[in-house]
Amino acid sequence: MAYDFWTTAAIADELRRTVVPGRVQQVLQVDAASLALEVYAGRERRYLLLSADPQTPRVHLLRDKPRRGVDIPSTLLQLLRKYVRGAALTAVRQPPWERVLWLDFQHPEFGQTSIVVELIGKWANLMMVRPPSPPAPLPPGGEGSRMSAHAPSPSEGEGWGEGAYRILQCIHRRGAALPGQFYQRPPAQVGVAPDAFDLTQARRLLQAEAPNALVWRVLVRGLLGLSPLAAREMVQRALGNAQVQVGQTEDVTPLVETVAAWVEMLRAGRWTPCLVRDAAGAPIAFAPYQLTQHGDAQLETLASISLAAEQFYGEKTQSAGDGYAAARRQVEASIQRAVRELEKRQAAIERQLRPATEIERLRASGEWILALATQIRPRQAELALPEGVELPPIRLDPALSPASNAAAYFKHYRKAQRAAKMGAPRLEALAAELSYLEQLGADLALAADRNEIDAVRAALAEAGYARQRKLARSETGQSKAQVQGPRRSTSQEGYTILVGRNSRQNEQITFDLAGPNDLWLHARGWPGSHVVIRSGGQPVSEETIALAAGLAAFYSKAQREAWVDVIVVEKRRVRRPPGRRHPGMALVEGERVVRVRPKEAAS
């Protein structure tokens, strides 16, 4: 799960209460991407973990002293031992609506430095920064006068170091994050700040979406600092159903009130940390607020958000045991690079697009300039239109003649028209590419062995997003990366249920193996496996449909959700998208939806 803004804010509050002010007594490197500080505060030694692991970036206190995990000290560790060991931890700060923490230190000999922890998923980083001209060191025993536990409110946005702090060292070198460079903030988010979210903003966000769009997804795209977990919890509390659609939402007032309550929780620091476990006792999620979206899952209230994070990540790490983690990370990195490239192209096209009203205004402006050319004086900068014309005054280039000004408007009009005509299909194609990459990401997450991971790598290469690797061959001459056939289960009625293991198998079971009257299932709104009940048009009980729907939910990206909506439709109503380029993509019509808990087939 993502370490989101709200969890980061709760951690920041906890650190201000427990280790600020404090003195750093030791610095350890736990692993290649994680550090730990031993801080003496409140007459107690506390251990603070700072991790920029791309899979599990996090910051939290530890109950026990961590062990050193590397034999050779890194350059960053050596610098921290020089500038931070023996220094006072004076403040913990968090930029507005960002998953970033600043830990400020004051050393009696070397002055001020800061550790910046960016908890931004796969782009997580940990940097040591310093002002270009650090203030003079404090006299021994005088550091207390400068200590502060103040944290800026969400509305404050200044003083976060861009262009003012120089990077001394970082745990991951990428982009502008290089030693000697000035620190640059992560790219600004686009959206509405939760403390500015009102009825007008809520209606605007929902009206811009399709009726079948999930409200929580709209909130993730439209509000700053919101993770899927937080968005689903807001919708669950406001509307009583985390999976409610835009078309089912008539009154947005409860949603606005719920967001306002969360902002108040943030400002007051009223956190209620919890950990949610599934029926087997495995951790599903944790949060600094009570999670109600997981139905009757086990909910454990904890004393601190650090304790919740430590238990969640500790138990997940122990239970994972993924022997293919390195191979999985390599393929995941290739997928993420492809996604970033497509998103850049998408943003470039969107910047060129103009609303239809703006395009029409360009044409009308050119025509009005020609119509009123005799009234335009030399070097006139603006043309006022006759009363009753619903257009603003037209700007003119004083250096051009009326005819040239009109020609310029017509040129912009034709360019905007071409962009609109060509941009829509290009954006549609890019959206299809992104959907396919999302599906490959699901295939990778669900891959059970090295062959299935290599199959995702091969699909990525075939789509042109990675290099094709030569696969080792067995003694019979066949590729060792042969993936097993589709998963098979049998219902109590004797119907065979097929579950695709990846995109190619999804294509195979849907369009080659399934008959037109068989039932087809898929987790709605999530990438994942196609599921087919081989019924041949015979009646299928709701128990069998629930079994197959549970498999569709389990073998999807919604595997950890409490409840999942699953599409059920006859296979004859499933078709390939027009102009499809990639396997496993499908369009459906006339479907019904059942809500189930994700459930793996009994062995």
Instruction: Enumerate residues 6+ apart whose C-beta is below 8 A from 121.
Output: 2, 54, 57
Q: Cis bond leading into 21, ω under 30°? A: yes
Instruction: Enumerate residues 6+ apart whose C-beta is below 8 A from 98.
Output: 5, 8, 185, 186, 189, 225
pLDDT score of 33 more than 90: no
Q: Over the stretch 199-238, which tens digit does the pLDDT of each residue have? A: 999 999 998 888 888 999 999 999 998 889 999 999 999 9
Q: Which domains does the chain have, with CATH numbers?
A: 5-170 (2.30.310.10), 194-320 (1.10.8), 324-483 (no CATH), 487-596 (no CATH)
Q: Over the stretch 351-371, which tens digit does the pLDDT of each residue have? A: 777 778 888 889 999 999 999
pLDDT score of 582 more than 70: yes
Q: How many Å apart are CA 460 and CA 468, to the nearest integer?
A: 8
Q: What is the pLDDT of residue 481?
A: 52
Which residues does residue 532 pair with via DSSP β-bridges, in sequence order? 498, 520
Q: Using DSSP bridges, classify how beta strands 382-383 and 394-395 pair: parallel, antiparallel or unpaired.
A: antiparallel
- C-alpha distances in angstroms, 571 versus 246, 520, 538, 539? 27, 5, 13, 14
Backbone dihedral angles phi then psi of residue 10, each to the nearest 5 degrees: -65, -40
pLDDT score of 394 more than 60: yes
Between 51-60, 252-261, 322-331, 366-375, the lowest mean confidence (pLDDT) is in 322-331
pLDDT score of 141 more than 50: no
Number of H helices and number of E strands within the chain? 13, 22
Instruction: Enumerate residues 6+ apart whose C-beta is below 8 A from 382.
Output: 393, 394, 395, 396
Q: Over the stretch 521-558, which tens digit does the pLDDT of each residue have? A: 999 988 999 999 999 889 999 999 999 999 999 999 88
Q: Over the stretch 282-294, which tens digit does the pLDDT of each residue have? A: 788 899 999 988 8
pLDDT score of 17 more than 70: yes
What residue type is 498 in one-letter code?
A: L
Q: How many Å apart are CA 171 and CA 163, to the nearest integer?
A: 20
pLDDT confidence band for 1 (50 / 70 / 90): low
pLDDT confidence band for 468 (50 / 70 / 90): low
DSSP H/E element including 101: strand 100-107
Regarding pTM above 0.85, the answer is: no
DSSP H/E element including 352: helix 325-352
- C-alpha distances in angstroms, 469 versus 59, 339, 457, 461? 37, 20, 8, 8
Give CA angle at 68 (66, 73), nearest 5°: 140
Q: What is the pLDDT of residue 602?
A: 54
- 541 with 560: CB under 8 angstroms? no
Please state the rounded mean pLDDT for residues 161-184: 81
% of the chain beyond a pLDDT of 70: 88
